[in-house]
Amino acid sequence: MTIFVCNLSPTYAKLNKSMKRIYTALHLPDAHIVVNLLRHAGIAVQVFNVNASGAFGELPMESSLPQVWLEEDKDESKARALIENYQRTAVSNIVRPCSQCGEENPIAFETCWSCGKAV
Ligand SMILES: [Zn+2]
C-alpha cells in the first residue's frame, strides 16, 4: 500500500556507487522537507525507503527510515549546510494532524504533504 502521493515519489533506482547518503529522516514529512530544500537549491537527490516503515507501534530500524541520498558528491558541503540550517531552525518536531486524511504535518506546512489539503 502506498500512502505517499506527493512529489517525493518512491525511488527504486539502484544505488549508484558515487551516491552518498546525506540524511536519514525521522519520518516522511521530515524527508519531504529536506528533499524540497535540497532540490530547490538545485541539488539532485534520491530518496529511499519512503514506503518502508515498521509495523504499527513498532519502532522502525534505522535502515528502514527514509534516507536522502545525494546524486553528486560535489553537492555534499552545500547540502550539509542546508540540512544543518534546517535542523537548527527545525519545527518539524511540532506536528498537527491533517483534518482530511489524518497524516501528521510539520507545523510549518501550509498544505498536507499527503493529500494536499490546506492545514
Ligand atoms: Zn492530508
CATH of the domain at 33: 3.30.70
User: What span, in angstroms and rounded, lies between the C-alpha atoms of 43 and 35?
Assistant: 9
Would you say residue 109 lies in a domain?
no
Using a CB cutoff of 5 Å, list residues around ligand 1, an ion. 98, 100-101, 103, 112, 114-115, 117
The residue among 10 and 106 whose pLDDT is bigger is 106
Would you say residue 100 lies in a domain?
no
User: What span, in angstroms and rounded, lies between the C-alpha atoms of 69 and 83?
Assistant: 12
**Distance of CA 110 from the midpoint of ligand 1 (Å):** 11
Would you say residue 83 lies in a domain?
yes
Q: What is the pLDDT of residues 88-110, one digit of tens each?
A: 876 556 778 899 999 988 777 88
- Residue 52: its pLDDT value, please? 54
Would you say residue 102 lies in a domain?
no
**Distance of CA 106 from the midpoint of ligand 1 (Å):** 12
Could you list the residue range(s) of the whole structural domain that residue 70 is in?
Answer: 10-90
Q: What is the pLDDT of residues 27-71, one digit of tens each?
A: 888 899 999 999 999 999 999 887 655 444 555 555 678 999 999
**Position 78 confidence tier, pLDDT thresholds 50, 70, 90:** very high
Q: What is the chain's Cα-based Rg?
A: 14
Would you say residue 103 lies in a domain?
no
Would you say residue 118 lies in a domain?
no
The structural domain count of the chain equals 1
**Distance of CA 63 from the midpoint of ligand 1 (Å):** 26
* pLDDT of 2 strictly over 80: no
- Residue 79: its pLDDT value, please? 97
Strand order in the sheet with 67-70: 20-24, 67-70, 45-48
Would you say residue 50 lies in a domain?
yes
